[in-house]
Chains A and B, each alone.
Chain A
Amino acid sequence: MASEDIWILGSNMTKFGKHPDEDLVDLASEAAMAALADAGISMAEVGIMGVGSLMNASAGIGQQLQKQIGQTGIPVYNVANACATGATALRVAIMAVKAGETDVGMAVGVEKLAGAGLLGQAGRGAASDTWEPSGRFGAVGSTEGRIGTGIMPGVFAQVGMEYGHKYGGTSFELFAKISEKNHAHSTLNPLAAYQKRFTLDEIMNDVMIAYPNTRPMCSGNCDGAAAMIVVSDAKLKTLSKRQQKHAVKISASVLTTDPYQEACQVLPDVNTLTRNAAKQAYEQAGIGPEDLDLVELHDCFATAELVHYDNLMLCEEGGAADFFESGAPWRDGSMPVNVSGGLQSKGHPIGATGIANIHEVAMHLRGDAGDRQIKGAKVGMAHVIGLGSACGVHILEKSAA
């Protein structure tokens, strides 16, 4: 499929954080117009749009965005796919280009979450004065706290603890050290919502949310948008030398859901679908984990980052704790992971996240990552997972041009 390669021609993300004076359309427009400028094209050339916003999935954000930056009559696909929403929007654009329906696609992800509380199924509200069964389990009241937990920090805490049960080597301190790494990395990323370095003590003694995840070990709700322009190989050949040099190759683009496993309907299995996505991606790209110069993975919680070292095959099976302790995933290590600061520092505006992590990798491959540049990066991977579940994995390669 070499001649069918798809390229990232332009890319942008807004600063993540609080944007009280900008609404979804403002943020999406900012990212989309900057991505167009980065690509050196206009809306007139865009043939399809994939637009993701989880909390406003039914609001027609794509059309609202068109009304703000250019109504050309092209199809818009508004998508929602949990935390993989942004990656799904990008997949839509890529698939349309691959299918030959258009040469240029745009993907945009946007979310406003600053100030939102804990996400996940919390209480079901006030109970009536009679016990009445409802829902698929016929529960007569809220299950939160009575049948375990559905809140995200708790679910992902269990994901990390389960890994510990299976392979050993995990501890509260280990998980906290992962968070220490990402917060340290964030100090070099001006786009991150939080750029504060924490000591290990500070992290472990901060407010406990769901053991073993304390507050700094959880991704932050915030506002932000990210956008990307993708083009076909044929289209790229018609563009300027500068644009060709600037383009980043999408060597693999994969989206998976979770295949049935015992327990997967009891505790979400974030492992199997990630491993499957990674396998397919390595195959598509014709490379292996050893070829990666950097990885952005979905560290919605410190406990999640650990298991994905293993799922993405950055280490041998069961070896995630040793892999971390070796120092490999620090930015000066052998396999830098989340040099952006990860979701724990950069923030997690859900719809934007799955594009922003690809943007981060693309910037390093272009040599445009500023102070946090991983020198000489040629190949990188971006991973995102949404509970439910959906997993996106993309492998990017520096342009040969």
Chain B
Amino acid sequence: MAAKKKAPAKKAAAKKAAANKAPAKKAAAKKKAPAKKAPAKKTAAKKAPAKKVAAKKSAKQIPFVDYLVLGDRPYLRAQECKNCGARFFDRRNACASCFGTDFKNARVKSAGIVTSYSIVTVGPQPFVSAIVDCGGTSVRCTLVGVEPTPDHVSLGMKVKLTTYSMGKDAAGVEAIGFGFAPA
């Protein structure tokens, strides 16, 4: 243990936590807000009850990725192969495991444990990239609410899904990102 563990700390500490809130894009580069646009339509989707109102409300929010489902209890949605149960986060033509072509939406557990991570210290600000095992489904994510230093992150650490605002675009639509925070 000759060498005091060090490197990441110095750089990281300097720039502090901020980790997650990635360059929340000058949300309002207001300028020439060209009315509302495309992104709006895509959120409303699955929100069973209270249609009219809910639809209107969620039209102002858009998930950072398709597979993040917003709502009172946001969750990650996988495409699950009906034949073998393999789960995928992108749209599918067939299952990479069994070649089946029938899929259903599956709700990924929101609690999990960190099975791998790296603290990326190049780029605008340090952040913790991690793989989280959510009850058998692995998820790639950024850890939030945790200092990006080796002292604060550990393998096997318990974490849970959380969401945060990434800012509004010119049309006033707010993007919602997700991360995993210590449970």
Contacts and interface: CB of A to CB of B under 8 A. Distances in A.
Interface of A: 118, 127, 129-133, 136-149, 151, 153-155, 157-159, 161-162, 164-166, 172-173, 176, 200-201, 203-214, 260, 262-263, 265-267
B89 A211 contact: no
B54 interface: no
Given A130-B39, A139-B64, A200-B3, A165 B155 contact: yes
24 contacts: A130-B38, A130-B171, A132-B38, A133-B62, A137-B67, A139-B65, A140-B175, A141-B25, A141-B166, A146-B64, A147-B64, A148-B140, A154-B129, A158-B116, A158-B118, A162-B116, A172-B5, A204-B3, A211-B8, A211-B120, A212-B150, A260-B96, A262-B86, A266-B89
A201 B131 CA distance: 29
Contact of A131 (B3, B118, B139, B173): B173
A129 B169 contact: yes
A157 B67 CA distance: 26
B25 A265 contact: no
B50 interface: no
A263 B29 CA distance: 38
Contacts of B115: 162, 165-166
Interface in B135-183: 136-142, 150, 155-156, 166, 169-171, 173, 175, 177-179
B121 A209 contact: yes
B5 A204 contact: yes
A211 B118 contact: yes
Contacts of A139: 64-65
Interface in B13-55: 20, 22-23, 25, 29, 31, 34, 37-39, 42
Measured as residues with beta carbon below 8 angstroms from the partner, the interface class of chain B is 35 or more
A179 B108 CA distance: 38
A210 B136 CA distance: 26
B3 A137 contact: no
A206 B3 CA distance: 11
Contact of A148 (B39, B89, B142, B150): B142
A266 B138 contact: yes
A86 B177 CA distance: 40
A154 B22 CA distance: 17
Contact of B121 (A166, A176, A204, A211): A211
Among A137, A142, A145, A205, chain B packs the most CB atoms within 10 A around the CB of A145
Given A151-B120, A158-B129, A133 B5 contact: no
B15 to A, nearest CB: 12
B12 to A, nearest CB: 8
Contact of B175 (A129, A131, A151): A131
Nearest to A138: B66
A161 B153 CA distance: 12
A376 B100 CA distance: 52
A396 to B, nearest CB: 34
A116 B171 CA distance: 38
Contacts of A145: 22-23, 120, 123-125, 127, 142
A262 B136 contact: yes
Contact of A161 (B88, B118, B169): B118
A120 to B, nearest CB: 11
A15 B173 CA distance: 54
A127 B39 CA distance: 14
Given A131-B169, A205-B7, A148 B138 contact: no
B109 interface: no
A133 B66 contact: yes
Contact of A206 (B7, B124, B136): B7
A214 B7 contact: yes
Given A166-B115, A200-B3, A211-B120, 18 more contacts: A131-B39, A131-B62, A137-B89, A137-B90, A138-B65, A140-B175, A141-B175, A146-B22, A148-B140, A158-B129, A165-B156, A172-B150, A209-B120, A210-B121, A211-B150, A260-B96, A262-B136, A266-B138
B86 to A, nearest CB: 7
A266 B140 contact: yes
A130 B173 CA distance: 8
A159 B120 CA distance: 14
B131 A118 contact: no
B141 A148 contact: yes
A145 B124 CA distance: 9
A203 B2 CA distance: 12
B120 A176 contact: no
B59 interface: no
Nearest to A303: B118
A155 B140 CA distance: 11
A138 B139 CA distance: 16
Contacts of B123: 144-145
Given A147-B142, A148-B141, A137 B120 contact: no
A154 B38 CA distance: 34
Contacts of B140: 147-148, 266-267
A166 B138 CA distance: 14
Nearest to A264: B96
A148 B129 contact: yes
Contacts of B25: 127, 141
A278 to B, nearest CB: 22
A85 B45 CA distance: 44
